Structure 1
Amino acid sequence: MWKWFFVVFLGFMMMGCGTTKKLTSQHKIDSLITTIWEQNHFIGFLVVDPVTKDTLYSLNAEKYFTPASTAKIFTLYTALQHLPDRIPTLKYIRRNDTLYFEGTGDPTLLHPYFKDSTAIDFLKQNKHLVWHSDNYEGNLLGPGWAVEDYQYYFQVERGALPLYGNVVTVYQADSLQVVPTFFKDKVVLLNYPLNREETSNTFYYDASRGDTVAIPYRTDSVLTLKLLENVLRKKIGRTTKLPDGEKSILYGGNTDSVYKRMMHESDNFLADQLLILSSSTLSNTLDGNKAREFILENQLSDIQQPPRWVDGSGLSRYNLFTPESMVLVLGKLYTEIPKNRLFHLFPAIEDSDNPEGEALSPSKPFVYAKSGSVGNNYSLNGYVVTKSGRTLIFSFMNNHFTKPASEIRAEVMQVLKRIRDRY
């Protein structure tokens, strides 16, 4: 393995010494990857200088890969293009003493982390409320999501008016704590292999475990109405159509706080809701597909290999992206967003072998990148800051390997360190 790295890094060092040397270096790296890595799995690797537009290295950059959570880079770009600095949390129309309102897909309302109550406080101020409950056209789960994962936090149902992050949060303090309390009678204290029944909101929690568990609940409009009435302590009407007229918009929390948590925690729920939220700026009905289609047809119409992009989170294995398209979007972000803000949104990786950003050494970060992992696939896409002060954009995608993912992550980091040191 180290023999391979020596030759790979030697190849990188030869770049910049003339066109012939660059081509020779590329050939040497290609031949070694072919003999050592491709016998086990498939690699795509692209490194570009966004200032000079030079391609420093390219391997299978135009080929499609399963991106896993690095698809959130496209979601981030879409949200930044469509959403203002504050989250549009509700749309509404007043008629006499009645407020008609609808959700926008805002994921932060009473969320266990954000705990945003902007919409709740606003609704409490109105005597009569009527909720438009039929403005979401998408599905609760994304295409290609595993049915058996319904009980885990990484696969939460989507919708127009999510409350509490669409999860039940359970933990043991002096007594059993359940948020929202609406579900307290639905929690069974039992050491059981399931967190929740598949077809009902019956939850299981082992009180001896001592940690906090977030369990997705099954959503529907009747339940959402009950949860709203419970927190507002008043009856709410329902309608299938808002009155005619221009809708007003209520704005909530800061969007960057949502982007950062999506990227740093790789939060699938936030990612998919951000696409739904983005669609609220495009039409009167909500559907993440509309946001994806719009951005690909407009701001990203110059992508040479259009992605197969089916969800905002990257949870689906149906997603297919190329390193070249990843670098293109990363380049647009680098050009359009101030560097300090951009690097704040991306996870920072320091001089450590851990590309997940954990247990970092006190040294200065040199990689700002989003990772993505799903069985037998690992990708890391973002920016590497070199010792000379250059910022380079890279996409490193690995599919279909059988060895431990930790080994792949370590190999990726070794290559990025050499790029940092050489350039």
Structure 2
Amino acid sequence: MKNTSLFILFLITIAITSCASSKKVTKNLEAIFESSPEFKQGFTGLVIYNPETKETIFNKNEDKYFTPASNTKLFTFYTALKILGDSIPAAKCAMYGDSLIFKGTGDPSLFYDNLSNENILRFFAKTDKKLFLLKSNFKEEHFGPGWAWDDFNGSYSAERNAFPIYGNTVEFEFKEGQNSPNIHPDIFVDSVYSEKNKELGKNIYRNEKSNKFQFEKYKRSKKSTQNVPFITSEITSAKLLSDTIRKEVMILKKLPENLQLDKIIYSNKADSLYKKMLQKSDNFIAEQLLLLSADKLSDTLKTSIAINYAQKSLLNDLPDKVNWHDGSGLTRYNLFTPRSIVALISKITAEIGDKKFKLLLPVGGESGTLKNSYKANKPYIYAKSGSLRNNHSLSGLLITRSGKTLYFSFMNSNYIVPYSQLTKAMEKILKTVRDHY
């Protein structure tokens, strides 16, 4: 009886201490927000949640909607995590007489960013059959809804398609002293031309409507590399694959009657794609993951299939409805609330645990998009950042000096101060929580 009473007293003491700590943090944060010019004219939301006590220790505009930018990738990650399983399907295929027929699933990894190609290359290498790339059930625009039309030349805005290869970009490398670039893959060599146009500067520009690339020809003083998206098609995918594996790849528009593509070739462990997407904020991987998810659900590559399924079956318990339109967050149509993102983080950690989630996320001062931010002797921020002009969000895990793991979502829309100034003000807020809770 005595031990029970002591235990109850211990629990009451913890509750009182926690409550006092929360009140102190709330008071400190409110004072910082009130005195910080960075938060005066823009719109800010912040939710900080203690999963151990199930207590929201601070909230500011928790139920208001913000432009999440690349925080959208957290939703893409959770959706793919629940749908795809441990490995990424690279192609569906079947044998038909002297032919091998295959089609893409949306897998972004083929010859992209040092991801493994071993399984798919071995598959193509060991067959002596004729290769046919089947026209896919790709029911999507190559760009996402609301993407900026003039971003077509940026590597962060590569087109979406069913059979990606080389990240759907062309690499142009200028070595020191060169006035013309090395081009990879080299099937685009004849599509590149130079012209005298100082407005081009050091950059390569693609024609908006065709795979024609131009540059200013002059001797470069230092090495530089630029990746430029190409316009995708089944024909281009077949040519690129054929050139790479040194075997002819032909296009097949329709599957022979009664034939099923019943064999699946897998490429990479799913975690390897998730880590690149989250740490490097890779838009291309994010978009293709939703196509992969849709293909597994319905054999149709259409982003909205994956999003609608997630909203109805995976995210229907979030506190606020999500306004979700793409995988990467390139569109400004996406709108989420801070408390819904924190609820999503709770769902992710319930699925894979804090420890694994920390391994996939950028780490403040150490890795990914946060390598140069939130530096500390001991890392305390493990989070996904997201930025579109005048919008910046950061959501993830915050480790306090007392050893507590907190979930947070810090969202800013329509800010007008310099980005560096805003993030320093955010850092002051988060350090206060780290040090005083």
- Above 0.5 in TM-score? yes
Unmatched runs of 5 consecutive residues or more in structure 1? 1-14
Superposed, 1:19-418 pairs within 5 Å as 26=26, 33=33, 39-114=40-115, 116-126=117-127, 127-173=129-175, 176-189=181-194, 193=200, 195-205=205-215, 208=220, 210-243=223-256, 244-245=259-260, 247-350=262-365, 356-358=370-372, 363-418=377-432
Q: Assess if the C-alpha contact under 8 Å between 1:192 and 1:205 holds in 2.
A: no
Q: Assess if the C-alpha contact under 8 Å between 2:183 and 2:189 holds in 1.
A: yes
Cα–Cα, structure 1 residues 393 and 22, in superposed 2: closer, same or farther, change >3 Å? Answer: closer
Q: Assess if the C-alpha contact under 8 Å between 2:396 and 2:409 holds in 1.
A: yes
Q: Assess if the C-alpha contact under 8 Å between 2:279 and 2:369 holds in 1.
A: no
Identify the residue that residue 421 of structure 1 maps to in structure 2.
Answer: 435
Identify the residue that residue 12 of structure 1 maps to in structure 2.
Answer: none
Q: Assess if the C-alpha contact under 8 Å between 1:355 and 1:409 holds in 2.
A: no
Cα distance in 2 between the residues matched to 1:16 and 1:199: 65
The one-character-per-residue Cα deviations of 1:170-211 (angstroms, maximum 9, x if unpaired) are 113487421111111222345652521111111234561521
Question: Which secondary structure state, in structure 1, belongs to the residue aligned with residue 327 of structure 2?
Answer: coil
Question: Which secondary structure state, in structure 2, belongs to the residue aligned with residue 395 of structure 1?
Answer: strand
Q: CA deviation at 1:393?
A: 0.2
| Deviation larger for 329-338 or 388-397 | 329-338
Question: Which secondary structure state, in structure 2, belongs to the residue aligned with residue 337 of structure 1?
Answer: helix
Q: CA deviation at 1:280?
A: 2.0
Cα distance in 1 between the residues matched to 2:155 and 2:115: 16
Q: Assess if the C-alpha contact under 8 Å between 1:263 and 1:347 holds in 2.
A: yes
Cα–Cα, structure 1 residues 18 and 361, in superposed 2: closer, same or farther, change >3 Å? Answer: closer
Cα distance in 1 between the residues matched to 2:316 and 2:138: 26
Cα distance in 2 between the residues matched to 1:144 and 1:65: 16
Q: CA deviation at 1:266?
A: 0.9
| Deviation larger for 206-215 or 25-34 | 25-34
Cα distance in 2 between the residues matched to 1:422 and 1:255: 38
Q: CA deviation at 1:377?
A: 0.9
Cα distance in 1 between the residues matched to 2:376 and 2:98: 58
Q: CA deviation at 1:31?
A: 8.1
Question: Which secondary structure state, in structure 2, belongs to the residue aligned with residue 252 of structure 1?
Answer: strand
Unmatched runs of 5 consecutive residues or more in structure 2? 1-14
Cα–Cα, structure 1 residues 29 and 363, in superposed 2: closer, same or farther, change >3 Å? Answer: closer
Question: Which secondary structure state, in structure 1, belongs to the residue aligned with residue 189 of structure 2?
Answer: helix
Question: Which secondary structure state, in structure 1, belongs to the residue aligned with residue 155 of structure 2?
Answer: coil
Bigger radius of gyration: 2
Question: Which secondary structure state, in structure 1, belongs to the residue aligned with residue 41 of structure 2?
Answer: coil
Cα RMSD for the two superposed structures: 2.7
Structure 1: which amino acid aligns with 2:188? F
Q: Assess if the C-alpha contact under 8 Å between 2:32 and 2:429 holds in 1.
A: no
Cα distance in 2 between the residues matched to 1:142 and 1:73: 17
Number of aligned pairs? 408
Structure 2: which amino acid aligns with 1:69? S
Question: Which secondary structure state, in structure 2, belongs to the residue aligned with residue 76 of structure 1?
Answer: helix
Q: CA deviation at 1:257?
A: 1.6
Q: CA deviation at 1:164?
A: 0.6
Q: Assess if the C-alpha contact under 8 Å between 2:25 and 2:436 holds in 1.
A: no
Cα distance in 2 between the residues matched to 1:355 and 1:415: 19
Question: Which secondary structure state, in structure 2, belongs to the residue aligned with residue 417 of structure 1?
Answer: helix
Question: Which secondary structure state, in structure 1, belongs to the residue aligned with residue 205 of structure 2?
Answer: coil
Bigger helix fraction: 2
Q: CA deviation at 1:270?
A: 0.9
Q: Assess if the C-alpha contact under 8 Å between 2:374 and 2:381 holds in 1.
A: no
Cα distance in 2 between the residues matched to 1:228 and 1:21: 60
Q: Assess if the C-alpha contact under 8 Å between 1:110 and 1:117 holds in 2.
A: no
Q: CA deviation at 1:39?
A: 4.1
Cα–Cα, structure 1 residues 238 and 18, in superposed 2: closer, same or farther, change >3 Å? Answer: closer
TM-score, length-normalised on structure 1?
0.89
Cα–Cα, structure 1 residues 58 and 358, in superposed 2: closer, same or farther, change >3 Å? Answer: same
Structure 1: which amino acid aligns with 2:330? L
Identify the residue that residue 10 of structure 2 maps to in structure 1.
Answer: none
Cα distance in 2 between the residues matched to 1:31 and 1:360: 21
Cα–Cα, structure 1 residues 283 and 29, in superposed 2: closer, same or farther, change >3 Å? Answer: same
Cα–Cα, structure 1 residues 254 and 20, in superposed 2: closer, same or farther, change >3 Å? Answer: closer
Structure 2: which amino acid aligns with 1:271? A
Cα distance in 1 between the residues matched to 2:376 and 2:412: 29
Identify the residue that residue 8 of structure 1 maps to in structure 2.
Answer: none
Q: Assess if the C-alpha contact under 8 Å between 2:374 and 2:427 holds in 1.
A: no
Q: Assess if the C-alpha contact under 8 Å between 2:63 and 2:339 holds in 1.
A: yes
Identity %: 36
Cα–Cα, structure 1 residues 65 and 343, in superposed 2: closer, same or farther, change >3 Å? Answer: same
